[in-house]
């Protein structure tokens, strides 16, 4: 009869049965794992990097495009012949800023509405023969005048002095610089002028007095007088509220900034003083503005270019935007 082995002998046999992992096997597992991780890294990381690069480019393009489209919209709504361009080096009309410390600026006079002023009695049921319905040019006009129809954009009554900044009327502005331009005439205390000075001339726009249903808007003089330099061939006039400047400071930390609600000056400021400002795009490493005035028969051409650079990756996008501008005042 056999007896069971001693306890220490059973434990010894059990230890020898459960063999451990060898160093060679561990090295093989680590090597295979590293190969798999490398392959997965190539498969996963590169698409992620591509996506991140695509997001960066899209953000740069969006920032540049929104700024250029906003500029284009306001330039199209500007007072005819009020676009002017210069840089901090004294160049005008066509400027290019790609060096730190050089500033480029484009300025316009923004309009909020426009219409045709009445110069004749018309042939409607309402007799517009009396002088208070018709604008007198040349010479002073203290009676006010009617609009042919209605303003499409403003709410009446429209009080020029209550606007911020106060509103102005402009007729037949033919240049952006020099004497007799809207910028030069804007500070004249009395006419003749192509744009009124709110410090001397204020007005109210409301319905005319024709009953039972007013058929036109009427502009009433509250102070000063209307004494415009020239009559517009098509009786066009505009309501102007503020100058607007787009200022580009190029360089690694450059930006595009919009300035508004500052005083109108005869000489174009590179960086306007006063008013308010807001940054539109950053970082802007280069920009260029150019303006070809054309003529009364041919529209002007504005060209805008912005280069934005991502500070981390160094990637750049450059957008060019061109628009035709109506020069006929």
pLDDT at 52: 64
What pLDDT, on a 0 to 100 scale, did the predictor assign at position 162?
A: 95
Residue 267 has what pLDDT? 95
Residue 39's pLDDT is 76
Summarize pLDDT for 226-237 with one digit per residue, the tens: 999 999 999 999
Distance separating alpha carbons of residues 88 and 257, to the nearest angstrom? 15
Q: Is 117 exposed, middle or buried (0-12, 13-18, 19+ CB in 10 A)?
A: buried
**In the predicted model, what is the mean pLDDT of residues 299-305?**
90
Residue 249 has pLDDT above 60, yes or no: yes
Q: Is pLDDT above 60 for 132?
A: yes
Residue 160 maps to a domain: no
Q: Has residue 115 been placed in a domain?
A: no
In this structure, is residue 296 part of a structural domain? yes
- Quickly state the pLDDT bin for 305 (edges 50, 70, 90): very high
In a domain, 206, yes or no: no
Cβ atoms 187, 156 nearer than 8 A = no
> Is residue 97 a part of any domain in this protein?
yes
HSE-up of 197 (CA within 13 Å, CB side)?
A: 16
Whether residue 14 is predicted with pLDDT greater than 80 in this model: the reply is no
| Mean per-residue pLDDT, 247-269 | 92
Percentage of the chain modeled with pLDDT above 70: 87
Could you give the residue ranges of the DSSP H alpha helices within 160-311? 182-185
Inform me whether the pLDDT recorded for 315 exceeds 90: no
275-284 per-position pLDDT tens digit = 999 999 888 8
- The mean pLDDT value for 144-160 works out to 93
Provide the pLDDT for residue 2.
Answer: 56
- Find the domain containing 273 and state its range: 59-107+244-325
Residue 157 falls within a domain, yes or no?
no
Q: What is the DSSP string of 75-114?
A: HHTBPTT--EEEETTS-BSEEEE-STT-EEEEEEEEEEEE
On whether residue 254 sits in a domain, the answer given is yes
Cα separation, 22 vs 30, whole angstroms: 13
Would 154 be classed as within a structural domain? no
pTM of the model: 0.81
Q: Are 135 and 226 in contact (CB under 8 A)?
A: yes
Looking at residue 214, its pLDDT comes to 87
Q: How many domains does the chain have?
A: 1
Across the chain, mean pLDDT equals 86
For residue 245, list its beta bridge partners. Answer: 107, 259
CA atoms of 222 and 307, how far apart (whole Å): 48
The torsion angles phi and psi of 18, rounded to 5 degrees, stand at -90, 85
* pLDDT above 70 for 17: no
């Amino acid at each position: 009869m056999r007896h069971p082995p001693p306890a220490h002998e059973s434990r010894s046999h059990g230890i020898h049965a459960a063999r451990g992992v060898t160093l060679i096997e561990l090295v093989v597992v680590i090597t295979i794992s590293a190969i798999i991780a490398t392959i997965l890294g190539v498969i996963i990381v590169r698409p992620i990097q591509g996506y991140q690069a695509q997001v960066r480019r899209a953000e740069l393009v969006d920032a540049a495009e929104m700024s250029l489209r906003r500029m284009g919209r306001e330039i199209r709504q500007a007072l005819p012949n009020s676009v002017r361009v210069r840089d901090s080096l004294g160049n005008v009309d066509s400027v290019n800023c790609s060096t730190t410390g050089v500033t480029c600026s484009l300025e316009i006079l923004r309009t909020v509405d426009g219409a045709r002023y009445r110069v004749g009695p018309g042939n409607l049921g309402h007799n517009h023969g009396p002088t208070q319905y018709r604008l007198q040019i040349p010479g002073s006009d203290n009676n006010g005048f009617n609009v042919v129809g209605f303003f499409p954009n403003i709410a009446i009554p429209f009080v020029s002095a209550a606007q911020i900044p106060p509103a102005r009327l402009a007729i037949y502005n033919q240049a952006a610089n020099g004497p007799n331009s809207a910028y030069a005439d804007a500070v004249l205390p009395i006419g003749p002028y192509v744009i009124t000075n709110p410090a001397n001339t204020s007005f109210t726009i409301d319905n005319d007095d024709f009953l039972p249903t007013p058929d036109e808007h009427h502009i009433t003089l509250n102070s000063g007088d209307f004494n415009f330099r020239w009559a517009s061939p098509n009786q066009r006039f505009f309501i102007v509220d503020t100058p607007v400047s787009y200022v580009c400071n190029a360089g690694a930390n450059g930006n595009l900034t919009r300035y508004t609600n500052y005083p109108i000056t005869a000489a174009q400021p590179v960086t306007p003083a006063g008013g308010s400002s807001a940054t539109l795009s950053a970082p802007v490493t280069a920009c260029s503005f150019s303006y070809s005035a054309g003529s009364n028969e041919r529209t002007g051409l504005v060209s805008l270019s912005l280069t934005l650079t991502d500070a981390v990756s160094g990637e750049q996008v450059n957008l060019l935007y061109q628009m035709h501008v109506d020069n006929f005042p």
